[in-house]
Amino acid sequence: MRPGDHAESSGQVPTASCRESGTVEAWNERYATRGMVWGTEPNRFLADYATGLTPRRVLDLGCGQGRNAVWLATQGHRVTGVDLSPVAVEQARRLAADHAVDVIFEVADVVEDWTPPPGAFDLVVLSYLQLAPHDRRVAHAKAAEAVAPGGTVWLIAHHSDNITDGFGGPQHPEVLFEEKALAADFGELELSRNEKVFRDVEGEDGVVRVAHDLLLVATKAAGPDG
């Protein structure tokens, strides 16, 4: 088990509805009372993908407490992180300071009040930004708009079958993702990966179980000069 694997599956606590669990107030309380909910290490799949990449402009949408954004900055990238929780963003800024890296963090609701700068980023990261269908489509359209020609959208999410076949993660089916919907969301990009991946996760009882995730890598066509 790598650092953060247990937290990655257990960090979201079910409430009466996915709407209630996704409010600013709910996220602020979660981050304020539970420490670094998903740890400080980057997502394992992101680390596998991004290790060794040449420095580029990176956007982390739904950056939470900054574990991925800060790690990417330590790899030499120019990183911007956006999250709706002021508590999370303040924690992310402290994490960046602890690692002596510069990251631009912005408090904004990706769906409601954030406007993507068109083509401003070479890599857009969405790590477990689990949203209901309408909000998901809005966020993904903004991600596709923000990525530059020749750039990449990289996404990891809990798979729709994780509730029945996997372990941990959100227990609201409407916020889980499946391949067909993601292919439609990013239909204007070229998909190089859109497939289920698995993580071994140690539960609080010490038993290792398997979480089912969905990994997407999609590239925007290069411009006429690129």
pLDDT of residue 225: 62
Mean pLDDT check: name the lowest of 14-18, 50-54, 58-62, 121-125.
Answer: 14-18
- Go through 42-53 and write b for each residue having 16 or more CB atoms within 10 A of its CB, e for each that does not: bbbbbeebbeee
Q: Is the pLDDT of residue 212 over 90?
A: yes
Task: For residues 216 and 179, give the distance between their C-alpha atoms in angstroms, rounded to a whole number.
Answer: 9
Q: Strands 78-83 and 190-202, how do they pair?
A: unpaired
Identify the residue with better confidence: 170 or 126. 126
In this predicted structure, the answer to whether residue 91 has a pLDDT above a threshold of 60 is: yes
- Report the SS3 class of residue 182: helix
Give residue-wise pLDDT tens across range 78-89: 999 999 999 999
Strand order in the sheet with 78-83: 103-107, 78-83, 57-61, 121-127, 147-158, 208-219, 190-202
HEC assignment per residue over 118-133: CCCEEEEEEECCCCCH
The answer to whether 103 and 92 are in contact (CB under 8 A) is yes
Give domain 5-219's CATH superfamily. Answer: Vaccinia Virus protein VP39 (3.40.50.150)
Helix then strand then coil, in percent of the chain rounded to 5, is: 35, 25, 40
> Which range in 14-23, 91-100, 164-173 is most confidently predicted, on average pLDDT?
91-100
CA neighbor of 220 nearest in space, from 133, 140, 160, 157: 140
Query: Domain spans of the chain?
Result: 5-219
- At what angle are helices 67-74 and 86-98 packed, to 10 degrees? 30
pLDDT at 10 exceeding the cut of 80? no
The residue-averaged pLDDT of 120-147 equals 97
| 179 φ/ψ angles, rounded to the nearest 5 degrees | -60, -45
Q: Cα separation of 224 and 207, whole Å?
A: 53
Phi first, then psi: give them for residue 43, nearest 5 degrees.
-55, 135
How far is 121 from 125, CA to CA, in rounded Å? 10
Structure tokens at 157: 């999410």
